[in-house]
Amino acid sequence: MRIAVVNNMPLAVEVLRRVIAKVPEHTLAWLAVNGQEAVGKCHQDRPDLILMDLVMPVMDGVQATGKIMKESPCAILIVTATVEGNAAMVFEAMGRGALDAVGTPVFGAGMTIEGGSELLKKISTIEKLLMKSPRSPKVGAGLKPTPTGPGDHPPLVAIGSSTGGPKALAAILSALPPIPGVAIVIVQHVDAQFARGLAAWLDSQTTLRVEVAREGMRPSADTVLVAATDDHLVLGKDLALHYTPDPRDYPYRPSVNAFFLSLEHYWPRRDVAMLLTGMGKDGAQGLAALRQAGWHTIAQNEKSSVVYGMPAAAAELNAAVEILPIEMIAAAVRRKIDINRIDMTSSRKDP
């Protein structure tokens, strides 16, 4: 795997060189000391992965990520001295196409490297996403749904997203407040250490209440729940949300497919599910299952996607009832929820 490093701190560059060299299959493609230089070098020599710092002179990592993803798209991992201290920049970079973020390794006592294993783990996961399409998880096979009526539960909007997701999620959530009584659950590919920060950041982008999904919580009206661990978030037969480590070898964590398939199996209503921008194919099979079960399914279109991977896979499976630009998705959701409510009201009045 050819890996480029973008960082203006010599000590950080040296430690990143040493971490990359720990894996024989990894080679250093090139170095850049600021975002502008990285954009130029990526245009001339596109690597498999870029380790991108955030705070740099001339052009920061957020701007560079956006330009690279538009001009010479490739996998980008944010590697910065303080992830928590730069949380807003991290999510902005992820909104523009960065896959994930991790703290910069440092030299410890005796010139040992601290934090190198965490970086290598991230690189390994990204390599799996780039090199293969993992098998899809199967959830609840052979079990029967809990027999409850759709009227006992709020309308549900299920969202799956990955690369470029934070920005897309903020755009949709900021346009959804006109539909009261709706429960929203989000599965975004993000490391567990950033999940609470993502929920807080999304909460600041919308008037809706956004919080992390805790074990045993149920989808509830007027609340947005965000998957919050490296395990997979699924709906159980008790109609509560649970975290499960299986399948353990599935690189997409948490998995959109695992969540969508559990909804198809257990959720008693036929509501709305959508698959947004992201690398890979996670969620496509689950969206197809939901459409077949009668859900209204939406995929983001290519032009408005930072990475047209997951929505493209859904389109190939004919999993989406509608394929829409990001700015039209909220209106489509509102329209479908309103139609469902009218249909349910009419059915209750029929003798």
CA distance 229 to 48: 27
2-131 and 150-349 have identical folds: yes
Q: Is residue 194 within 8 Å of residue 201, measured between CB atoms? A: no
Q: Which residues face 4 on adjacent strands?
A: 50
* Cα–Cα distance measured from residue 253 to residue 301, given in angstroms and rounded to the nearest whole number: 23
Instruction: Tell me what pLDDT residue 141 has.
Output: 42
Predicted pLDDT of residue 145: 45
The pLDDT score that the predictor gives to residue 257 is 95
Q: Would you state the pLDDT for residue 151?
A: 56
pLDDT, position 136: 52
Predicted pLDDT of residue 128:
83
d(CA 67, CA 108): 35
Q: What is the pLDDT of residue 73?
A: 92
- In whole angstroms, how far apart are CA 154 and each of 209, 216, 219, 258, 293? 16, 17, 8, 21, 18
Amino acid sitting at position 63: Q
Bridge partners of residue 242, in order along the sequence: 234
Active site residues per annotation: 162, 189, 282
d(CA 351, CA 347): 8
Closest CA to 254 of 266, 242, 271, 236: 242
137-164 burial code (b ≥16 CB/10 A, e <16): bebbeeeeeeeeeeeebbbbbbbbbbbb
Contacts of 231 (CB under 8 A, 6+ apart): 243, 244, 245, 253, 254
Per domain, the residue ranges of the chain are: 2-131, 150-349
User: Phi and psi (nearest 5°) for 96?
Assistant: -95, 0
Distance CA 218, CA 95 (A): 28
Give the dihedral of Cα atoms 216, 218, 222, 227; nearest 10 deg.
Answer: 50
What CA–CA distance (Å, rounded) separates 281 from 226?
20
Quick one: CA torsion of 252, 255, 256, 261, rounded to 10 degrees? 140
Q: CA 26, CA 262: separation in Å to the nearest integer?
A: 38
* Strand ranges, E, within the chain: 2-6, 27-32, 49-52, 75-80, 100-103, 106-107, 113-114, 156-161, 183-188, 209-212, 223-226, 232-235, 241-244, 272-275, 296-300, 322-324
Tell me 307's DSSP state: S
Nearest to 295 by CA among 339, 264, 265: 264
CATH topology classification for 2-131: Rossmann fold (3.40.50)
Place of tokens 């755009």: 171
Q: Which fold has domain 150-349?
A: Rossmann fold (3.40.50)
Q: Phi/psi at 46 (nearest 5 deg)?
A: -80, 120
Q: How does strand 272-275 pair with strand 209-212?
A: unpaired
In the predicted model, residues of the chain with pLDDT beneath 50 are 140-148, 345-351
Joined together, the tokens standing for residue 272 give 């709305």
